[in-house]
Structure formats: structure tokens, C-alpha cells
Chain A
Amino acid sequence: MADSIIELKNVSTVYEGERVPAIRDIDLTLESGEFVAIIGPNGAGKTTLLETINGLLPHTRGQVRVLGQDVARFGPQLRSQIGYVPQEFQFDETTPVLVRDVVLMGRYGRIGLFRRPTAEDYVRVQEALELLGLAELAERPLGKLSGGQQQKVLLARALAKEPKILLLDEPFSHLDFVAREEVAELIARWHRERSLTVLIVLHDLEAIPRSCHRVVLLNGGRILHDGARERVVRAFTLAHKE
């Protein structure tokens, strides 16, 4: 039997100052090496779910365990092993950081306190930059890049971490069609070759990668369907027609 790598039991998350949970009564288990898509309409709680899993948002009820450990207690240590590409990002032109530094920063949690990045850290950064076709932009200021390039930088940052889990929140939203295909293929390859567990949030059903066989449908903060891709996508499409 495969190991549970992400385990949520009866989890609810309420934002500060709010009374209604953004996600509620979530039971979700991911086995090691699974590739799962989360779909749902705007405001369904998809981003909240991802950020509850990596502990950026503290959950208010239930239990979240990642890699066998409690996220509430071991958040920073766990996050150093989880790659995350957020949906929302905005870097103005004067942001004082270069592309190479942004990607390297993804590894800071692994490197730990009082330690400097080593030659190996820089090798991983260079690999990630090359994988995403960003090597020539390494010394450019992040704020000078287009939205699509910035999204690729954040993806490179997540991959440079050599994560065990990859959480992707609308990772294609700023990419053109060709770049989207390339990035989807790259994610699929990493999933396949490195037994990476991937959880990807999408609202465009066409964008669900081919290697993703399990889909979770979220609405109103609750899981409505969780199962085989075709069945859940059909349920979502029918619900939208009604």
C-alpha cells in the first residue's frame, strides 16, 4: 500500500476577521507520486486548500499532515520540501531582486540558518533556469520580465527546491499556448521521473494535464466529487449546464 503524503481530516479554514470558512470539512488523502487536479468555480476555496496544505494559512479545525508530520507544528521545515507556485503575484519594475536570486531563494529553507548557499545550490538553480528556458534572463531584474516569464521564474524556483510535493495554483494563467504545453510537459516529466506528488489547481478543464488521472471538484469550500478524471469533469460540466 502506498504511503499517504498529504492527509487532511475534517479540515476547515477561516480567514482572519471572517466567520464563514473558506474551506470546510475537507477530507483528502494523496498517496506518494499521485498527480491530482483541483477544479471548481471562482471562490470555491482552491487556493485556500493549497495554502492550508503547506501551512501558509493556519487551519482552524481538523488535522493536516504532510509527509507524516503535523503542518501546524512543522510548517517551515515542511515548506522547505514543498514547491509552491502561487496564482497571484505582482512584482513592480523596481523590485530589487535578480532572476537568479529569486530561484536560489527557493532553496533557502533547505539550506537553513547560518549557512551559505553551496556550489550544489547554484548547480540546481542553473538546472532549473535551463529547464524553463530562463538561463539568459538569470541576471535580469525580476520586475523587468513579462507576467509569463515571471510565472516561469516562480516555477523554476519551486523546481530548484527539489521538492517532494509540488503545489501549483493556476500555473498556466500567464502563459501563451506554446509555453503552456512546454510547462505541462515539464511538470508531467518531473512527476514521472522523480515520483513527485503534484496537486494542481485549474479552472480551465482543457488545461488538465494528460498524466493527471484523479480530479477533485471543489465548490463552496466543500469537496463535491473526488475520483477519476472523466467522471468528475463530466459532473462539473453538467452542474454548470444546469
Chain B
Amino acid sequence: MYGLPWSLIGTLVSGAALTGAACGLLGTFVVRLRLSSLGFTMSHAAFAGAALGLALGIEPLTLALVGAILTAAVLGPIAERAKLPADVITGVLFPLTMALGLIFLSLAPGTAMSSSALGLLWGSLFAMTREDLFRLLGLAGAIALTVWLFFKEFQALLFDRKLAEESGVPTRPFYYLILFLTGVTIALALRLVGGLLVFVLLQSPAATAFQFFYDLKKIFFWAALFGVIYAGAGLGLSFAFDLPLGSAIVLISTLGFGLAVWRSPKRRRA
């Protein structure tokens, strides 16, 4: 296939599938808790962190993690208390994180638009290593285990936070656990999808699943599956037409979500 060794193809396909599954699972929280603006800002903070890593010659993934988690730690309490509307958070912090990312890229040794720099922006087929793959495998496993262990607490939180508290479920630790996992997922997905577009995988697969089901177990399952399908199909599209991987995933995800809204039984009249 395109003259690539099978081992590389295997790494890419597995990486895309694991990224899609992890993002799909976590996306269920992001969509239902309306954390889109927070996730959007976190993904750009991860991009800025990775760019800083390139400029300083430090592993970009490490600083991407720091950027995403730091953003979650700062913005989490603000979003939680809802004292600032989501669009205000995004409006102020999105340009800041983008500006920082571009400044750091311009400081990176060599040309600013080197292949590593472009990979951070748009995602890259060849940036994924076997180590990344194992990290993604660990992450997807950790998210699945967390959802399984605390399913009823998450279910209560996703239904209605006040009613969850009322029933005796302490929601704050679970809310912050979600933010932490979202930060880690964004940072790990950065290589494949790119800082500008990683957020689509946190949104579209879960948003698609929500169009079809009311049962949360089914929503988690299908969100992960749609994540795998979108990331896998995006990978195929990227190969076939030599498109940046992130852009290809966005095209597929948007198409999938559009079809889901069109065919959604939730929107059909009996």
C-alpha cells in the first residue's frame, strides 16, 4: 500500500483507531457537559506547549501535556462556576494560545514551517511512533477502565449535576477527572490530528452517538466506535488524496455528523 512498510501502516491504523476511541469516549463528557469551549482552548494550549517544546528542543509531547492540563486547571474552576460564558472564555483564550503557539513556532530552530512544525498544526501520518502507540493504548485503556469503574457516578453527573449532588454523589472529583483525562487525550492525539483540528475528534463522534441513543452505555460504546470509524476513514482519505491527516479526519467527521443529524430518530416525528 503506497510503498509503505506494513509495520508503519499497522502503527498508523492502530494509532488512528486508539485516538478515535479515546476521543470518542471522552467526547461523551465534553458534549454532554458542554465543555466544548474548554476543550477547544485546551487543544490550542496543547499546540502552544508543543510548539514551545520544538523551540526549546524539549519533547513537544511533554509540554503539550503541560499546556493542556494547566489550561484545564485554570479554566476548570471558571467553567464550573459558570461565572464566565463559554464564548467569552474561548474568545479571549483562543487567540492567546494560538498567538503563543505561532510565536513559539517562529522561534523553533530551522525554518518555522518545517515538517515537525506543520505536523503540530495539521497532524502528520509519519509523526506517530511505536512509543506513541503504546501511550495511546494505555490512555484508551485507562479511560475505558475509568468509565467502567465509575459508570454510575458519571451517569449521574451527565444527567444533571445538581441532582447528582442531591443523591449523594460528590461530583467535583469526577468533573476534574474528566478535565484531566481530556487534557491528556488532547496532548496525545496532537501528533496524529494536529493542534488546530484535534478537537473535532472530541466533538463529532460523541455528538453523532447522541443523535441516536438515550441509553448512556450505548452512547459511550457508539461514540468510541464512531471515533474509530472517523479516524480510520480520515486516515484512508489522507492516504488516497495526499491530504493532511487532521483535515481529512475533519472532513469525514463533519460528513458523518451531518448524516447523523439528518437520519436521527430523535428528530423524527412519530
Q: Contact residues of A with B, CB < 8 Å?
A: 16-17, 54, 56, 76-81, 84, 86, 89, 91, 93-98, 101-102, 105-111, 113-114, 116-117, 141, 154, 157, 161
Q: Is the CB of A76 within 8 A of B170?
A: yes
* CB nearest neighbor in A for B159: A97
B164 at the interface (CB under 8 A from A): yes
Contact A111 B152 (CB under 8 A): yes
A96:B165 contact, CB within 8 angstroms: no
Q: Which of A56, A76, A97 contacts B214 (CB 8 A)?
A: A97
Decide: A97 and B216 in contact? CB cutoff 8 A: yes
Q: Is the CB of B164 within 8 A of A79?
A: no
Q: How far is the CA of A80 from the CA of B170 in the complex (A)?
A: 11
Give A111 Cβ to nearest chain B Cβ, in Å.
Answer: 7
Q: Please report the C-alpha to C-alpha distance between residue A138 and residue B224 in the assembled complex, in whole angstroms.
A: 27
Select B210's contact among A94, A102, A154, A157, beta carbons within 8 Å: A94
Which of the residues A17, A101, A154 comes within 8 Å of B155, measured between beta carbons? A101
Q: Which residue of B lies closest to A93 (CB)?
A: B266
Enumerate 19 A-B pairs (CB-CB under 8 Å) in ascending A order.
Answer: A56-B166, A76-B168, A76-B170, A79-B167, A81-B168, A86-B166, A91-B160, A96-B213, A96-B216, A101-B215, A101-B216, A105-B155, A108-B156, A108-B164, A111-B152, A114-B149, A117-B152, A154-B163, A157-B163
Find B169's partner among A93, A109, A116 (CB 8 Å cutoff): A109
Name the distance in Å between A210's Cβ and chain B's nearest Cβ: 28
A105's contact among B149, B163, B170, by CB below 8 Å, is which? Answer: B163
* B152 neighbours in A (Cβ, 8 Å): 105, 108, 111, 116-117
When A and B form their complex, which 10 residue pairs have the shortest distance between CB atoms, in order from nearest? A109-B168, A80-B168, A141-B214, A79-B168, A109-B167, A76-B170, A76-B168, A97-B159, A84-B166, A105-B156
* Bound: A54/B162 CA distance, A: 12
**With A56-B166, A106-B167 as contacts: A96 and B210 at CB distance below 8 Å:** yes
Compute how far the CA of A36 lies from the CA of B164 in the bound complex, rounded to whole angstroms.
26
- Please name all residues of chain A whose beta carbon is closer than 8 Å to the beta carbon of B150 when the two chains form the complex: 113
Q: Mark B residues whose CB is within 8 Å of A.
A: 32, 81, 83, 149-150, 152-153, 155-156, 158-160, 162-170, 210, 213-216, 219, 266
Q: A86-B162, A97-B159, A98-B215 are in contact. List 14 more A-B contacts (CB 8 A).
A: A54-B166, A56-B165, A76-B165, A76-B170, A89-B160, A95-B159, A97-B214, A101-B155, A105-B152, A105-B164, A108-B169, A111-B152, A113-B153, A157-B163
Question: A161 contacts which chain B residues (CB < 8 A)?
Answer: 167
Indicate if the CB atoms of B214 and A108 lie closer than 8 Å: no
Taking a contact as CB atoms under 8 Å apart, the answer to whether A96 and B81 are in contact is: no
A238 CB → nearest B CB, Å: 36
Considering only CB atoms, which chain B residue lies closest to A115 in the complex?
B152
Whole-angstrom distance between the alpha carbons of A157 and B169 in the complex? 14
Contact A17 to B83, CB < 8 A, known contacts A96-B32, A108-B153, A108-B156: yes
Closest to A98 in B: B214
Assess whether A77 is in contact with B168, with CB atoms less than 8 Å apart.
yes
Nearest CB of chain B from residue A55's CB, rounded to whole Å: 9
Instruction: Say how far B6's CB is from chain A's closest CB, in angstroms.
Output: 40
Instruction: Determine the chain B residues whose CB is within 8 A of the CB of A93 once the complex forms.
Output: 266
B81 CB contacts on chain A under 8 angstroms = 16
Chain B residues with CB under 8 A of A79: 165-168
In angstroms, how far is the closest chain B Cβ from the Cβ of A128? 13
CA distance A145 to B167 in the complex (A): 22
**Which chain A residues border B169 with CB–CB below 8 Å?**
76, 108-109
Nearest chain B CB to A68 CB, angstrom units? 17
A185 CB to closest chain B CB (Å) equals 25
Q: List chain B residues, Cβ under 8 A from A111.
A: 152
CA distance A96 to B155 in the complex (A): 10
Q: Whole-angstrom distance between the alpha carbons of A101 and B156 in the complex?
A: 9
